[in-house]
Amino acid sequence: MKILGVDSSGMVASIALIEDGITKAEYTVNNKKTHSQTLLPMLDEISKMLGEDMSDVDAIAVAAGPGSFTGLRIGSATVKGLANALDKPIVPVSTVEGLAYNMWGSDRVICPLMDARRSQVYTGLFEFFEEDDRCVMNTMLEACAVPIEDILEKVNEIDRSVVFLGDGVPVFKETIRNKCKVPYVFAPAFANRQRASAVAALGEIYLEKGMTESAAEHAPVYLRLSQAERERREKEQDE
């Protein structure tokens, strides 16, 4: 099984190729340059380095949201073009699930935090349990956009030790320190941001379950309306 993974949902741009349980290449960049300038050159670089043109991948896994609207669309448009040209299925992977999968094997509750602005985070809650010779990720709370306080309240209710990761951690560190009542840790540099290898590895599992989309069907899951739609709905509700 050969899966190309793509994640441009936040500040990180990441591309990975995994094959038969091994990461053959991963290229991750975390800087301010727009993904439009980095993502495809990164894929091109990986392709040249491996001497592979990606035409024999089984599927293309993409971090399909939530996240930065523009970032998601760059990733989405990129995988749609690839999937169309190569005639391959797309496997959408929830961005927060992909992020949580970085913590594979942890006994703690996994709480990815992506800064969603307006004092909110894109988050979810996950845990791992053993099955045969590997760990399986279980979703305790589906991906959602909520105020940081709400997710911390949930974490406190579950009353287990927790690991936080994602670009929301530096933004909300003080709030976490003040409001988190359970033992917690923060993930280290190699695993605390989006990684396309995690997206590809989860993508492989979803592919086996048949959770694929065609290039035409695929679109990001924003979890939020556009500002104009939100304001229009609020206005309608007021009337």
Partner 1 sequence: MSDILILAIESSCDETAASVIKNGREVLSNVISSQIDLHTLYGGVVPEIASRKHIEKIDQVVNRAVSEANVTMDDITAIAVTYGPGLVGALLVGVSYAKSLAWALKKPLVGVHHIEGHICANYIENKELEPPFMCLVVSGGHSHLVKVVDYGEYEILGRTRDDAAGEAFDKVARAIGLGYPGGPKIDKVSYEGDPCAIEFPRAKVADNEYDFSFSGLKSAVLNYLNSMEMKGQSYVQADVAASFQQAVVDVLVGHSMTALCEYGFDRFAIAGGVASNTHLRKAFEDECAKRGITFYRPSPIFCTDNAAMIGVAGYYEYIKGVRSGWDLNAVPNLKLGER
- The tokens describing 177, both together, are 């320190």
Q: Answer for the pair 98, 165: CB distance below 8 angstroms, yes or no.
A: no
**Among residues 34 and 138, whose Cβ is nearest to partner 1?**
34
Stretch that binds partner 1, among 76-84, 116-124, 130-138, 153-161 (CB under 8 A): 76-84
How many beta carbons lie within 10 A of that of residue 157, not counting itself?
Answer: 9
Of 30, 56, 81, 159, the one binding partner 1 (CB under 8 A) is 81
20 vs 17: CA distance, rounded Å? 10
Shortest gap between Cβ of 161 and partner 1 (angstroms)?
39
Of 32, 55, 118, 129, the one binding partner 1 (CB under 8 A) is 55
What residue spans of the chain are helical by DSSP H?
35-50, 69-86, 95-101, 148-158, 168-179, 196-208, 227-238
Bridge pairing between strands 184-186 and 134-147: unpaired
**Among residues 68 and 194, whose Cβ is nearest to partner 1?**
68
**Among residues 25 and 110, whose Cβ is nearest to partner 1?**
25
Stretch that binds partner 1, among 16-24, 84-92, 121-129, 191-199 (CB under 8 A): 84-92
159 vs 239: CA distance, rounded Å? 43
**Among residues 15 and 162, whose Cβ is nearest to partner 1?**
15
Shortest gap between Cβ of 234 and partner 1 (angstroms)?
14
Name which of residues 192 to 221 contact partner 1 (CB under 8 A): 215-216, 218-220
**Among residues 43 and 99, whose Cβ is nearest to partner 1?**
43
H or E element at residue 131: strand 120-131
6 vs 200: CA distance, rounded Å? 8
Should residue 85 be labelled a site residue for partner 1 when binding is judged by CB under 8 A?
Answer: yes
SS3 sequence of 169-194: HHHHHHHHHHHCCCCEEECCCCCCCC
Should residue 37 be labelled a site residue for partner 1 when binding is judged by CB under 8 A?
Answer: yes
How many beta carbons lie within 10 A of that of residue 10, not counting itself?
Answer: 25
**Among residues 189 and 228, whose Cβ is nearest to partner 1?**
228
Question: Going by C-beta distance under 8 Å and a sequence separation of 6 or more, which residues neighbour residue 36?
Answer: 74
Shortest gap between Cβ of 37 and partner 1 (angstroms)?
5
Of 3, 15, 17, 43, the one binding partner 1 (CB under 8 A) is 43
Q: Which positions lie near partner 1, rule CB under 8 A? A: 34, 36-41, 43-44, 53-55, 69-70, 73-74, 76-82, 84-86, 215-216, 218-220, 222, 226-229, 232
